[in-house]
């Protein structure tokens, strides 16, 4: 007797399901190869090992393929394995260090403000300055650095983008600038308010790029000049990558030539962080003359010791013109009123007058106390009083021949 139409369809579906079930159950075993021993009913063999361990599982992935086919048929998914943390030494190096915790004394309300501007390198020198003046209640360091920015590559809220307005809103007694790491890129085209191109884009290192970059330097210079406060523009250091190091030298030459031709200060720190051949070095003398590591693993940023040494080249200049801590009772009676006012406003250097004092630091041997005795001088005599200090060994903390003009 033949089956009815409905019954035949049901039988076909039933047989198909049975075949799929049998294939899905047997396919892993067929792909896995022969069984070493028949499993016992109790789940263990004569030698005491579990039967599951006696099945030979190939290491060529056939079992995983069969299992995946079974899961595809029944829409099942095994939970994803959690990735184990990478404990190897091949982790990517982070670009910058963790923000250090620097304990400082409570600062006076009228403390002198050292404002630091620039990119990642300016962060390092700012942290070093905070460490240097941590015990000085009359000196406060304010960090206005903006990582991933520069003079032409202007990240959001970069103080150097609208420098004149920003400086006016954030008054300071001294300014420190260290910038250029992120400026190694195409100079964007200049457009007017209507979107018309005034000047085209310039490739990095071309003559047109150099002239445009120097215009950016002048833009920031003029903004600082309107504040009429001492400005210390610090050069870029050597780095581990040869091409990047060459770019750092190139930018240093542009900045230093622009500043020194206008009789402004440029602090060249290259030799302080390089070897005898002028190349990058992870190590070097610290402020006490000891050979220590100064740079991070990425061969760009500075560690704590490096930051402290980096800051010293600004710190000693700040101490030269620092005036807020000079009390009235120690000012010479013969000092002209205009000179006294200049000292109190931090502008003594502009009148060739220097107030030399022992730095506000806890360490007595950081800078030779015999150098920083309180005295006043004018003109050439003031320079003579520093002659002994300038004869100190290079890079030692009591050497003040920093070579600001080149």
* pLDDT tens per residue, range 96-121: 578 899 999 999 999 999 999 999 99
Q: Quickly count: other Cβ atoms within 10 Å of residue 170's Cβ.
A: 14
Q: Does some domain include residue 121?
A: yes
State the CATH number of the domain containing residue 299: 3.40.50.1110
* pLDDT tens per residue, range 307-318: 999 999 999 888
Q: Does some domain include residue 99?
A: no
Q: What is the 3-state secondary structure (H, E, C) of the chain?
A: CCCCHHHHHHHHHHHHHHHHHHHHHHHHHHHHCCCCCCCCCCCECCCCCEHHHHCCCCCCCHHHHHHHHHHHHCCCCCCCCCCCCCCCCCCCCCCCCCCCCCCCCCCCCCCEEEEEEECHHHHHHHHHHHHHCCCCCCEEEEECCCCCCCCCCCCCCCCCCCHHHHHHHCCCCEEEEECCCCCCCCECCEECCCCCEEECCECCCCHHHHHHHHHHHHHHHHHHHCCCCCEEEECCCCCCCHHHHHHHHHHHHHHHHHHHCCCCCEECCHHHHECCCCCECCEEECCCCCEEECECCCCCCECHHHHHHHHHHHHHHHHHHCCCCCCHHHCCCCCCHHHHHHHHCCCHHHHCEEEECCCCCCCCCCCCCCCCCCEEEECHHHHHCCHHHHCCCCCCCCCCCCCCCC
pLDDT over 90 at 73, yes or no = no
Q: Quickly count: other Cβ atoms within 10 Å of residue 94's Cβ.
A: 11
pLDDT over 90 at 209, yes or no = yes
Q: Does some domain include residue 86?
A: no
Structurally, how many domains does the chain consist of?
A: 1
- pLDDT-based confidence at 20, cuts 50/70/90? low
Q: Does some domain include residue 236?
A: yes
What is the domain range of residue 180? 112-326
pLDDT over 80 at 370, yes or no = no
At 52 the pLDDT is 46
At 358 the pLDDT is 40
Q: Does some domain include residue 246?
A: yes
* pLDDT tens per residue, range 328-361: 444 555 667 676 666 555 555 556 555 444 444 3
Q: Quickly count: other Cβ atoms within 10 Å of residue 289's Cβ.
A: 11
Q: Does some domain include residue 156?
A: yes
pLDDT over 80 at 393, yes or no = no
Mean pLDDT on 286-290: 90
Q: Does some domain include residue 93?
A: no
- pLDDT-based confidence at 33, cuts 50/70/90? low
Q: Does some domain include residue 230?
A: yes
At 46 the pLDDT is 45
């Amino acid at each position: 007797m033949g089956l009815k139409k409905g019954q035949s369809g049901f039988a076909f579906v039933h047989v198909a399901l049975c075949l799929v079930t049998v294939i899905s159950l047997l396919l892993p075993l067929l792909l896995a190869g022969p069984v070493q021993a028949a499993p016992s009913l109790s789940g263990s063999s004569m030698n005491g090992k579990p039967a599951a361990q006696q099945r030979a599982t190939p290491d060529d992935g056939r079992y995983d393929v069969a299992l995946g086919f079974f899961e595809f048929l029944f829409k099942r998914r095994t939970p994803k394995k959690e990735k184990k943390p990478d404990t190897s030494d091949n982790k990517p190096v982070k670009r910058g260090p963790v923000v250090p915790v620097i304990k400082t004394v409570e600062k006076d309300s009228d403390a002198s403000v050292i404002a630091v501007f620039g990119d990642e390198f300016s962060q390092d020198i700012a942290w070093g300055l905070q460490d240097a003046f941590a015990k000085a209640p009359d000196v406060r360091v304010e960090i206005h650095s903006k990582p991933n920015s520069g003079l032409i590559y202007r990240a959001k809220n970069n103080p150097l983008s609208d420098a004149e307005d920003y400086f006016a809103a954030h008054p300071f007694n001294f300014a420190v600038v260290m910038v250029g790491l992120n400026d190694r890129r195409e100079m964007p085209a200049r457009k007017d308010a209507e979107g018309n191109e005034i000047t085209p884009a310039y490739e990095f290192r071309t003559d047109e790029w150099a002239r445009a970059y120097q215009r950016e330097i002048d833009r920031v210079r003029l903004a600082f000049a309107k504040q009429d406060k001492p400005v210390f523009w610090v050069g870029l250091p050597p780095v581990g990558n040869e091409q990047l190091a060459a770019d750092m030298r190139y930018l240093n030459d542009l900045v230093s030539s622009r500043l020194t031709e206008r009789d402004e200060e440029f602090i060249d720190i290259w030799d302080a962080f390089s070897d005898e051949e002028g190349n990058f070095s992870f190590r070097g003398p610290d402020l006490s003359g000891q050979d220590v590591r100064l740079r991070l693993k990425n061969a760009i940023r500075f560690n704590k010791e490096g930051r402290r040494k980096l800051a010293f080249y600004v710190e000693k200049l700040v101490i030269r013109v620092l005036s807020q801590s000079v009390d009235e009772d120690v000012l010479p009676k013969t000092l002209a009123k205009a000179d006294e006012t200049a000292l109190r406003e931090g502008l003594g250097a502009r009148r060739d007058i220097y107030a030399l004092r022992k730095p506000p630091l806890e360490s007595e041997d950081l800078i030779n106390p015999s150098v920083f005795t309180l005295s006043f001088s004018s003109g050439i005599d003031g320079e003579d009083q520093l002659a002994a200090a300038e004869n100190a060994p290079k890079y030692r903390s009591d050497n003040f021949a920093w070579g600001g003009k080149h």
